[in-house]
Amino acid sequence: MPPRTTRWPIEPHTQAKHLILERYLKAWLPIMASFNGRIVYIDAFAGPGRYSKGEEGSPIIALKTLLGNPLFQSPKRRCDVGFFFIEEDQERAAALTEELNQLEAQFPIPKWVSYEVINGEFASEMTKLLDAIERRGKLLAPTFAFIDPFGYSGVPLDVIARMARNPSCECLITFVYESIVRHGGKPEDWIQAHIDKLFDTNEWKSLLAGPDPKERMVKMIELYRKQLTDKAKFRFVRTFSMFDRSNQAEYVLFFGTNNRKGLSVMKQAMWKADPLSGQIFSDKTDAGQMVLLQSGEDLGLRYQLQEKFRGQGFVAIGEIERFVLEETAYSEAMHLKQKTLAPMERESIPLIKVQRPLGKQNRKGTYPEGTTVMFL
């Protein structure tokens, strides 16, 4: 339920969400700035900038992530960076403007970095922006959009789809599952219409009527994933589920991208927030007390690799990396080589054979480009 006050207490799952956002932006901003003349960050449902006890909101986190990166501290222009913070509530928009003014007074903001607080509704403001760009025959600059509503309304899939038509646009969307379940069965036409627009279909109604809560959640998440893939045409969609203090499903983060590098970086960010599975955070586990992933081998990934590649002969390391990135919950950067392949190669009876390219040192535990692996 949306808070009624200008500021409100932060929840642990919100802190986990902000951790994912910050870690992703730390990688995304310098990568994009190195290859583009302009990049854009959009924060929809931006809020007041701080929570009731002073914790930073996503707009402040995003801007400080840029300002704290050494790449952007040089007075030499890297590329133009535009921050757009969209907030419908007038008092929250005013509070956010004040927070940003205070930030600018503390940290020098380069001339090539700009920000704007837009007091308006996300769908209409985004539609205006896309209309203006399309009238000029242009594409949206490489964009990361954090779309973080309180409930089921205001995030129509057709707007997300228009954004996704721009090949360098990525979206991190809060899908408020709890709100859909709580309100979706009510008879009011306007509620039904909002949820229809969220999914761009009314198929959700039959799923909501399902008797098994766990199955209902799985099917509802799968429907939204399908819509982001089939209707919005995102090539890759990744999810991260958030649970409240009662361990009930609160919402699901959906990340949509057309870029394999973006998918890789987001999976790493999600694994930092949930070192056990890279997919779930519960308020029952405080964000400050999350355990680190054990440094040893990951047997789950081992079994998936054996199931996929055993009997196929030597397989290129690039294809193995692609499989882990695109078809498993694991991170190819974090879990594949040192946590899985190296222990398999070092077993007393090795579980893999490795052919390293000519000119490279034939050392166990290293898998440079050009390596091929046979799973035994």
The average pLDDT across 65-87 equals: 86
- Is 141 within the bounds of a domain? yes
Instruction: Give the count of beta carbons closer than 10 Å to the beta carbon of residue 245.
Output: 12
Provide the number of structural domains found in the chain: 2
61 and 103 in a single domain? The answer is yes
- Is 4 within the bounds of a domain? no
Q: By percentage, how much of the chain surpasses pLDDT 70?
A: 92
124 and 198 in a single domain? The answer is yes
* Residue ranges making up the domain that contains 157: 12-289
Q: Identify which of 34, 17, 46, 53 has the alpha carbon closest to the alpha carbon of residue 241.
A: 17
184 and 307 in a single domain? The answer is no
Question: 289, 315, 331: which is the final residue of a domain?
Answer: 289
In this prediction, residue 285 carries a pLDDT of 43
Confidence of residue 1 (pLDDT cuts 50, 70, 90): low
Question: Residue 124: which residues within 8 A CB-CB, separation 6 or more?
Answer: none
In this prediction, residue 277 carries a pLDDT of 64
- Is 1 within the bounds of a domain? no
In this prediction, residue 294 carries a pLDDT of 36
Residue 283 has pLDDT above 60, yes or no: no
Per-residue pLDDT tens over the stretch 137-164: 999 999 999 999 999 999 999 999 999 9
Question: 258, 289, 320: which is the final residue of a domain?
Answer: 289
Report phi then psi at 119, rounded to 5. -85, 90
The average pLDDT across 126-144 equals: 95
The average pLDDT across 44-60 equals: 96
Residue 284 has pLDDT above 60, yes or no: no
170 and 318 in a single domain? The answer is no
123 and 215 in a single domain? The answer is yes
74 and 210 in a single domain? The answer is yes
DSSP assignment of 27-78 equals HHHHHHHHH-SEEEEEEET--SSB-TTS-B-HHHHHHHHHHTSGGGTSSS--
Per-residue pLDDT tens over the stretch 95-117: 999 999 999 999 888 888 999 99
Taking the CA atoms of residue 146, residue 285, residue 64 and residue 37 in that order, the dihedral angle to the nearest 10 degrees is -40
The type of residue at 53 is K
User: Hey, CA dihedral for 116, 159, 240, 175, is it positive or negative?
Assistant: positive
36 and 165 in a single domain? The answer is yes
In this prediction, residue 288 carries a pLDDT of 38
Q: Are 250 and 242 in contact (CB under 8 A)?
A: yes
In this prediction, residue 77 carries a pLDDT of 67
In the DSSP assignment, the letter for residue 352 is E
Q: How many helices (H) and strands (E) does the chain have?
A: 13, 11
Question: 257, 289, 321: which is the final residue of a domain?
Answer: 289
Q: At what angle do helices 58-67 and 90-106 cross, to 10 degrees?
A: 20
